[in-house]
């Protein structure tokens, strides 16, 4: 048994991960696996809440997600990597928790209201989608973690998770569930190539799995300081969309030179992009190597082992819970 404190987090398998995911969330997970007993999973049932009409793609996205994680540095020997739908206990706990969750809490959840507005073309007025935060509470509480590392957008869900835990404990007169803390991981947000939020749907992302050749034309087309029309115009790194990429991936010793060169117009955007390409290549090469080594067979093995480990914990906690709620007959 590990004496480390436990944390749990998941991601929906909805497509390949990009640099925004890496610097926003995954880099933190990679750090956390050294200090905590980590459970990281592909939330395929959560993907289903919005993709239920055409779920075929989810199946392919799960192995892709695991490959991206391993490429980014998650080590299956250090953390438990699993697939939500393989641990059937999640569905059972979701059912029990749903008994304790007042409808109003879910209807008032900001993510429910927003998503329903935004994704008008998909009908998200379903029981499954309304229950999204309850399923998430089941994912989390199943493992009784101390904290949940997520981005800011998930905070309303974590608040609901604690409320559900509290209500369950109150109604069962127990302290069965802990109230897991937020662990914000979104310290650095990397904007997309065009300056908007990096998102697959905007086509402004660099994927972790993309080859250097595919990335080069994207970098050449990147937005920089828009006030700098000619190389002879001085630029301002603090409003340039490219400079943050250097801060994350270029040797820090070179940053003063880039900043000065931009401000005094001795260094142009083309030079800046060339250097960024070198930095990206240096940064991505080890990721690409780890990804290439992570074959489909290896992914199957990782998910098999991880799901078994997660299931062992889940089964134990569900045995205890069934006793507590008098459903052990």
For residue 260, give every residue at least 6 positions away whose Cβ sits within 8 Å of its Cβ, in sequence order, or none: 266, 267
CB of 215 to ligand TRP, least distance (A): 25
Given 46, 90, 162, 291, the residue binding ligand TRP (CB under 6 A):
46
Stretch that binds ligand TRP, among 2-10, 199-207, 232-240, 251-259 (CB under 6 A): 2-10
When asked if residue 17 is in the footprint of ligand TRP (CB under 6 A), the reply is no
Q: Which is nearer to ligand TRP, 107 or 233 (CB)?
A: 107
State how far the Cα of 97 lies from the Cα of 100, in Å rounded to an integer.
5
Stretch that binds ligand TRP, among 8-16, 57-65, 163-171, 313-321 (CB under 6 A): 8-16
Position of tokens 């709620």?
A: 325
CB of 157 to ligand TRP, least distance (A): 6
When asked if residue 150 is in the footprint of ligand TRP (CB under 6 A), the reply is yes
Q: Which is nearer to ligand TRP, 150 or 321 (CB)?
A: 150
State how far the Cα of 165 lies from the Cα of 89, in Å rounded to an integer.
17
Q: Map 71-116 to HEC letters.
A: HHCCCCCCCEEEEHHHCCHHHHHHHHHHHHCCHHHHHCCHHHHHHH
When asked if residue 12 is in the footprint of ligand TRP (CB under 6 A), the reply is yes
- 187-246 binders of ligand TRP (CB under 6 A): none
When asked if residue 140 is in the footprint of ligand TRP (CB under 6 A), the reply is yes
**Phi, psi angles (nearest 5°) of residue 134:** -75, -40
CB of 248 to ligand TRP, least distance (A): 21
Q: Which is nearer to ligand TRP, 19 or 43 (CB)?
A: 43
Q: Which is nearer to ligand TRP, 156 or 261 (CB)?
A: 156
The neighbouring-strand residues paired with 82 are: 41
When asked if residue 6 is in the footprint of ligand TRP (CB under 6 A), the reply is no
Helix (H) or strand (E) holding 9, with range, is strand 6-11
What DSSP string runs through 256-318?
A: HHHHHHHHTTSS-HHHHHHHHHHHHHHHHHHHHHHHHHS-HHHHHHHHHHHHHHHHHHHHHHH
State how far the Cα of 329 lies from the Cα of 326, in Å rounded to an integer.
8
Given 6, 7, 10, 241, the residue binding ligand TRP (CB under 6 A):
10
For residue 198, give every residue at least 6 positions away whose Cβ sits within 8 Å of its Cβ, in sequence order, or none: 18, 19, 20, 190, 191, 192, 204, 205
Helices (H) and strands (E) in the chain, counts: 15, 5
**Phi, psi angles (nearest 5°) of residue 183:** -130, 95
- 89-128 binders of ligand TRP (CB under 6 A): none
When asked if residue 9 is in the footprint of ligand TRP (CB under 6 A), the reply is yes
Q: Which is nearer to ligand TRP, 76 or 149 (CB)?
A: 149
Cβ atoms of 111 and 156 within 8 Å: the answer is yes
Q: Which is nearer to ligand TRP, 12 or 18 (CB)?
A: 12
Given 28, 50, 154, 241, the residue binding ligand TRP (CB under 6 A):
154
When asked if residue 20 is in the footprint of ligand TRP (CB under 6 A), the reply is no
Given 17, 38, 42, 43, the residue binding ligand TRP (CB under 6 A):
43
Report helix, strand and coil shares of the chain as percent, to nearest 5.
60, 10, 35
When asked if residue 8 is in the footprint of ligand TRP (CB under 6 A), the reply is yes
* Interacting residues toward ligand TRP by CB under 6 A: 8-12, 43, 46, 136, 139-140, 148, 150, 154
């Amino acid at each position: 048994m590990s004496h480390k404190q436990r944390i749990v987090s998941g991601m929906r398998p909805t497509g390949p991960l990009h640099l925004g995911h890496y610097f926003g969330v995954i880099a933190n997970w990679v750090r956390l696996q050294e200090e905590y007993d980590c459970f990281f999973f592909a939330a395929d049932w959560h993907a289903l809440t919005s993709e239920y009409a055409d779920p075929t793609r989810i199946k392919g996205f799960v192995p892709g997600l695991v490959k991206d994680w391993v490429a980014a540095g998650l080590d299956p020997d250090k953390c438990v990597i699993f697939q939500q739908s393989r641990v059937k206990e999640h569905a059972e706990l979701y059912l029990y928790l749903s008994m304790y969750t007042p409808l109003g809490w879910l209807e008032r959840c900001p993510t429910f209201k927003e998503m329903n507005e935004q994704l008008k073309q998909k009908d998200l007025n379903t029981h499954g989608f309304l229950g999204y935060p309850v399923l998430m509470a089941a994912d989390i509480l199943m493992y009784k973690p101390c904290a949940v590392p997520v981005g800011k957008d998930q905070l309303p869900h974590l608040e609901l998770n604690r409320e559900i835990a509290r209500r369950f404990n109150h109604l069962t007169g127990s302290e069965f569930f802990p109230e897991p803390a937020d662990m914000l991981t979104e310290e650095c947000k990397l904007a997309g190539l065009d300056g908007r939020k990096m998102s697959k749907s905007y086509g402004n992302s660099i994927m972790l799995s993309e080859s250097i050749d595919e990335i080069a034309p994207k970098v050449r087309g990147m937005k920089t300081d828009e006030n700098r029309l000619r190389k002879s115009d001085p630029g301002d790194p603090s409003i340039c969309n490219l400079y943050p990429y250097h801060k994350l991936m270029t040797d820090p010793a070179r940053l003063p030179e880039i900043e000065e060169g931009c401000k005094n117009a001795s260094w142009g955007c083309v030079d800046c992009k060339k250097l960024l390409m070198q930095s990206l290549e240096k940064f991505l090469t080890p990721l690409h190597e780890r990804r290439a080594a992570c074959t489909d067979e290896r992914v199957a093995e990782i998910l098999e082992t991880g799901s078994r480990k997660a299931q062992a914990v889940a089964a134990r906690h569900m045995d205890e819970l069934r006793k507590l709620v008098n459903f052990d007959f």
